[in-house]
Structure 1
């Protein structure tokens, strides 16, 4: 259902020219790597007109000029307004079955290094951490370290807090609920918090995948799920090349159900449902 007029100039407070929209596209791509199609003009109007109104600007020209000044707070607000942060615990659960089997069969003499790239509000890295804890129950020698990063500082702060409404864990088994979460009481009634022993497995950090970042080599498993769908082919290839540089032969890359890295890619081979191995 299209809740926004195909012509944002009709019935809306601010004019929004094609030239202004083109500049918004450029800025979004510059800061996030996301490639917006021309069909996203109503979406960008909806997101950014709220900021224009709140900041009491005259229109999109003023807002674009403000973003171009490069103020950190303005830039963060610009990025956060366009990125989509939908996620859930055990989303695409076959990935976590694979992860547990990988951990239990690993012969490495060091902790398995796992990276949740684009961790959003934390459901993915906490699911990874819970999977690690469950594997450790079966084999106490299992050891892993987990890095979780996201571009959006606001959702990263929510991820670090590890606090959710109780309905977010309704789909989990009773055992997982009691093993990994604390129930809120008093003014926190209806909320849950991830237990410290799960939270302490994760290092959270802000990272823009489009930046020239440097991470330790030998990342054994990278989870980058439902992130590349927002990128064009050239940006996807650039990101895959970056991942390949921090992974050695045999390392794994896990992506989202609607994503693929292209049959022409020579750095990874498909070994499972949206699971790839570095070659």
Structure 2
């Protein structure tokens, strides 16, 4: 598919209050799969229609056909692609989500890496969404570091959505979002809003400064050369087809250091994939 050739104007004329044509949807879904690896089956058509309405209004378009033509034009493609991924991706996450992973970090993973490495341990939160996962990791890593003076770490967090990365870097969350954070960690790492009418908290600057946020598209070569000791990629590959999942997991394994750890979501599986890892706990693997 040539993304820089204008498509023929065969999208039809559709008002925002009517349905997207199958021809439009086919073009959108093919582009989303090729550029982002995200599968967009026909069952997602209604969802895509609803989410695209905001972009059509922002661009002053009345019809899906106009957006279709704009997106597939050379200038439109370059300007709109990052906006499209913000529309398509679903960003659902929480602090201390799947808590057994963080318990295993403290009991097994970090002691092992601390014993084996004299250099700083490198951690990657891949698909970090609005930041709850990397800030949780940062709390855990910081607590371990305070109890082990020789332990140092660096933490990179990435997502494909520029909009969600801005939210992650801002690090402001509803107070209800941090209910699961232990009280001692809340007091240590979070600040309550001084405005009593706004039940918000913000991650303290000393913790925010430890996270290196980057925009990374998994479908492209990873834009770094250093190997990681821990990769968290949880509840991300569920949006990809099996072939794309396998390709991505191979890339992650190539990026892991020897003896490094890969954490995936409990709804995900690498069963049947030939990868250089051994399972050490449910959805946790170590490179061999």
Normalising by structure 2, we get a TM-score of: 0.88
Q: 2:10 matched to which residue of 1?
A: none
Equivalent residue, structure 2, for 1:183 = 192
Q: For 1:81-230, list aligned pairs within 5 A.
A: 81-101=87-107, 102-105=109-112, 106-107=114-115, 108-186=117-195, 189-230=198-239
Q: Which residue of 2 aligns with 1:22?
A: 26
**Other structure's SS at 2:214 match:** strand
Q: Is the Cα contact below 8 Å between 1:34 and 1:232 reproduced in 2?
A: yes
Distance 1:142 1:29, change over 3 A: same
Partner SS, residue 88 of structure 1:
coil
Do the aligned residues in 1 keep the contact of 2:160 with 2:215 (CA within 8 Å)?
A: yes
Aligned to 1:3: none
> Which runs of 5 or more structure 2 residues have no equivalent in the other structure?
1-12
Q: Which deviates more, 9-18 or 201-210?
A: 9-18
Aligned positions, number? 271
Confirm or deny: 8 A CA contact 2:278 2:285 kept in the other structure: yes
Check the 8 A contact 1:150/1:205 in 2, yes or no.
yes
1:13 is aligned to 17
Quick one: distance in 2 between partners of 1:39 and 1:104? 45
| Kept after mapping to 1: 8 A contact 2:246/2:273 | no
CA contact (8 A) 2:56 2:63 kept: yes
What whole-Å deviation, never above 9, does each CA across 1:1-50 have from its counterpart, x for those lacking one? xxxxxxxx999613411111111111111232101122111111111133
Over the residues paired in the alignment, what is the CA RMSD in angstroms?
A: 2.1
Aligned counterpart, 1:252: 261
Answer with 199-208 or 64-73: which moved more.
64-73
For residue 71 of structure 2, the aligned residue among 62, 67, 74 is 67
Instruction: Name which of structure 1's ranges 150-159 and 65-74 shifts more when overlaid on structure 2.
Output: 65-74
**TM-score normalised by structure 1 residue count:** 0.91
**Following TM superposition, by how much is the alpha carbon of 1:248 offset from its aligned partner in structure 2, in angstroms?**
3.0
Moved more, 224-233 or 173-182: 173-182
For residues 24-77 of structure 1, the C-alpha deviation after alignment (integer angstroms, 9 at most, x for no partner) is 111111232101122111111111133223433232221111112344442222
Q: What's the secondary structure of 1:205's corresponding residue?
A: strand
Shift of 1:140: 2.2
Aligned-partner SS, 2:155: strand
Q: Which residue matches 2:6?
A: none
